[in-house]
Amino acid sequence: MHAGARRARRKASDPDRCLADKDITLRYLVDYHPASHFWPLQLVETGILLALAALAVALAFRVLRRRHA
């Protein structure tokens, strides 16, 4: 392998350099909730899922009752 091929291969394997050469900047925004919010968020999520499950069960019983009444 000649030097030009090695350079091209090395350049192609470096995504940061490739993006910088093309003037592309990537910014990632990461936002975390504090640890003290973990259980309250879990309880809210659980409540929402339980409410949706109860709604689905109620609709299923309603449909079955109408079809088999």
How confident is the model at residue 41, as a pLDDT?
95
Amino acid at site 15: P
The answer to whether residues 21 and 13 touch, using CB atoms and an 8 Å cutoff, is: no
How confident is the model at residue 7, as a pLDDT?
59
Give CA–CA dist 32/12, Å, rounded. 34
Q: Which residue has the higher pLDDT, 2 or 29?
A: 29
How confident is the model at residue 24, as a pLDDT?
78
CA 35 vs CA 38, 40, 41, 52: distances in Å? 5, 10, 10, 27
pLDDT in tens, 12-67: 567 777 777 888 777 777 778 899 999 999 999 999 999 999 999 999 999 999 98
- What 13-18 contacts at long range (C-beta under 8 Å, 24+ apart), as own/partner pairs, is none
pTM for the complete prediction? 0.52
